[in-house]
Amino acid sequence: MLTLSQGAHQYRQTQVLTTSGVQLIVLLYDSAIQSLELAREGMSQNNYQDKARFLGRAVAIVTELSNVLDFERGGDIAKSLFRLYDYMLAEILQANLRNNPHHLTGPLRCLNTLREAWREVAARQMTGS
């Protein structure tokens, strides 16, 4: 018999394996946003374990998004995204070093804006527009 945690893990795994590349990017943005919000909550409660865990998760996601940029095909958009991801990583680092959740405001705003743009792309793909 599956535990709730194992069932949730299998569901997430199935979700990742059956989504398109664009939908996967949306899932990554969702996870990065959730991680930063949980890190901010950890900071406000002086829970350094949660702060470190969730900041680490957000850094890993943003780093991966940056690493997979295709500068050849993406041109100026890829370069702009690279600079934006670099800014986000720098702000997350400052939030960690200063234990100041204010530094997460900019990255959260950027991630939310990018997530909405990718959601629109995903919606267009599904409708064939």
The pLDDT tens digits for 80-102 are 999 999 999 999 999 999 999 99
* Record: fold of 20-127: Four Helix Bundle (Hemerythrin (Met), subunit A) (1.20.120)
The pLDDT tens digits for 56-68 are 999 999 999 999 9
Report whether pLDDT(77) > 60: yes
Asked if residue 55 lies in contact with residue 96, where contact means CB atoms within 8 angstroms, the answer is yes
Asked if residue 43 lies in contact with residue 95, where contact means CB atoms within 8 angstroms, the answer is yes
Given this model, what pLDDT does residue 54 score?
98
Domain ranges of the chain: 20-127
Asked if residue 4 lies in contact with residue 89, where contact means CB atoms within 8 angstroms, the answer is no
Given this model, what pLDDT does residue 16 score?
47
Mean per-residue pLDDT, 30-44? 97
